[in-house]
Amino acid sequence: MGIRATDITKRFGDFLALQDVSLVVPSGGLTALLGPSGGGKSTLLRIIAGLEYPDSGAVEIEGVHATWLPPRKRNVGFVFQHYAAFKHLSVYRNVAFGLEIRRRPKAEIKARVHELLELVHLENFADRLPSQLSGGQRQRMALARALAVQPEVLLLDEPFGALDAQVRKELRDWLRRLHDEVNVTTIFVTHDQEEALEVSDEIVVINHGRIEQVGSPTELYDNPANDFVMRFLGPVTSLGGRLIRPHDIEMLPGPAPDAIPATLTQLVRVGHEVRAELVAGESRPWVNLTRGQAEELQLSPDAAVWLRPHPRASTLPAPDRA
Amino acid sequence: MIRWTLRLIAVGYVLALVGLPVVTVCRSTFSHGWAPFAQALGNPDLLSAAELGVGVAAISVLVNTVFGVGIAILLVRYRFPGRRLLDAAIDLPVSISPVVVGVALILVYGRTGWFGGWLERHGIQIIFATPALVLATVIVALPLVVREVVPVLAEAGTDQDQAAQSLGANGLQRFARITLPTIRWALAYGVVLSLARSLGEFGAVRVVSGSVAGQSQTLTLFVNANYQEFGPEAEQAAFTAAFLLMLASVAFIVVIAWLRPKEHS
């Protein structure tokens, strides 16, 4: 059953944060709410958690009407971007917090906390204060704390947003493995399309308070519903009046059926890839090539080439401005 | 050279303003040795004044702690019409002379004041009695706890509170387990400041007390009353009480100095 949000609308003063948003998140999945900042994704997450209340609409969590329930009665675990660690409590007491509130027996709390600290690889840090941990460790502690009370739903608000790139990538892989182990229905908010594509089972693209598209990472990448989704999920260029991914363009040394003539203006090497910038009539497409392809074509500035979409490339009509 | 001159000026300034008076009070208190001091300590009026002064200060600090924390939470966590007015009003006691506070209290609760008639008919005396002393002291020390707690609360934000909410904690549990530990050092600092201010309050209390020895005299009023009387006995009593007040101040300064660094860790 999972989570069902129906016709959620939320305003902050004059700002319309969410507009008639409806969403079903299946049980046990790992779902990403993806979109630019200010698009409403965090607001939707906080409404599901009960940290905000919608102006209209309904929230159902595992079959329970939860729209007006306070957060503490929703059985939801929440992880904040800036960890929200209880600064005056040790790592152990942080993780034990929810269990202490529920007045579980001491022995049970101890066993459960140690089990969780092991799960998040912090078993040697039980007596530290949060201020003695790194950002990544703090966030893992926050995750253990949220999982301690065995929530039906785990909600993460930009969980890796405050971490540096390296730690971010590690934690991302780790979250995926953790989810496969614990299997709790999980929703996380991110504005990083790579993070969403790599980690999640399902992506919900949210922009301007509306859902643009819902689907698996492959579906969204290959069949974006509109140019916003296409642009947000990866690089986009235009060819012959259509939007296309730059790696979906074939570059040919001579004329061919359906191919458009173009002139090379610049070649830029970016690591193992080569970015070729061209002029084709009115438009200025760019093409992503591998180093091998670029060498094979023996490209030089001002070279004449022919461009056409790959046979299985997905394209969208380009909006007028492009 | 300049550094030494500056240091000398600073030390001299503090000595002249604080050191000399302190030394004078000490010398005058013990100018005839321990015996008159010990005798003055047995003065029933002084004991009663000390009791009343400490009692009034204790109640005021309690009231200001409870309401101070409440007002601080209100100011930091909630947005409501009139919030900025409340914020400004909290600081009013700092800028108004305590004497004005005392006069204002008489205008409200005195016999001819707004509530005077009603209070008299119901046999409740506020002015020239302990309630007025407490009221005056509460008002004068009002901002101290609030101003210490507000910045700490604001800096802590609401994330921890929301995390505790999602972990199942109700309002009382969140206050006891999250908010209170977060503000504890600031609160302790504010309480000590309030205690010092309350014990030393003179102006507002002077206006509303009537200063009847053994009845409505606090320590500061006792000092004033006895100093203005003639005779070596009264003088000794005044200096003894002043010495006690000073002793309390020194104790507070030590506690404050000890609390201060922890506040920032």
DSSP B122-160: TT---TTSHHHHHHHHHHHHHHHHHHHHHHHHHHH-SHH
Instruction: Write out chain A residues lying below 8 Å of B181, CB-based.
Output: 88-89
Q: pTM value?
A: 0.83
Instruction: Write out chain B residues lying below 8 Å of A184, CB-based.
Output: none
How buried is B226 (Cβ within 10 angstroms: 0-12 exposed, 13-18 middle, 19+ buried)?
Answer: buried
Using alpha carbons, select from A309, A282, A314, A287 the residue that is nearest to residue A299: A287
pLDDT band of residue A322 (cuts 50, 70, 90) is very low
Interchain proximity B169–A82, CB inside 8 Å: no
pLDDT at A221 over 50: yes
Instruction: Write out chain B residues lying below 8 Å of A88, CB-based.
Output: 181-182
Q: How many CA atoms lie within 13 A of B27 on its CB side?
A: 6
- Size of the A and B interface in Cβ pairs below 8 Å: 61
Q: Which range has highest mean pLDDT (A232-241, B79-88, B110-119, B248-257)?
A: B79-88
Coil vs helix vs strand at A318 = coil
pLDDT, one tens digit per residue, over B6-42 is 999 999 999 999 889 889 989 989 988 888 898 889 8
For B160, the closest of A51, A84, A101 (CB atoms) is: A84
Joined together, the tokens standing for residue A279 give 């002029």
Please report the pLDDT score of residue B120 as a whole number. Answer: 84
Interface test with B, best of A52, A69, A78 (most B CBs within 10 A): A78
Contact between A91 and A128 under an 8 Å Cβ cutoff? The reply is yes
CB within 8 A of B242, min separation 6: which ones? Answer: B25, B29, B223
What's the gap in Å between the CA of A225 and the closest CA on chain B?
Answer: 35
Mean pLDDT over each residue of chain A, to the nearest integer: 91
Length of chain A: 322
Instruction: Write out chain A residues lying below 8 Å of B173, CB-based.
Output: 101
Q: What is the pLDDT averaged over residues A254-270?
A: 88
CB within 8 A of A102, min separation 6: which ones? Answer: A149, B168
pLDDT, one tens digit per residue, over B78-122 is 999 999 999 999 999 988 999 999 999 999 988 888 888 888 888
Q: Which amino acid is at A270?
A: V
What's the gap in Å between the CA of A293 and the closest CA on chain B?
Answer: 51
Q: What is the pLDDT averaged over residues A40-50?
A: 95
ipTM of predicted assembly, 2 dp: 0.84
**Residue whose structure tokens are 């890796």:** A160
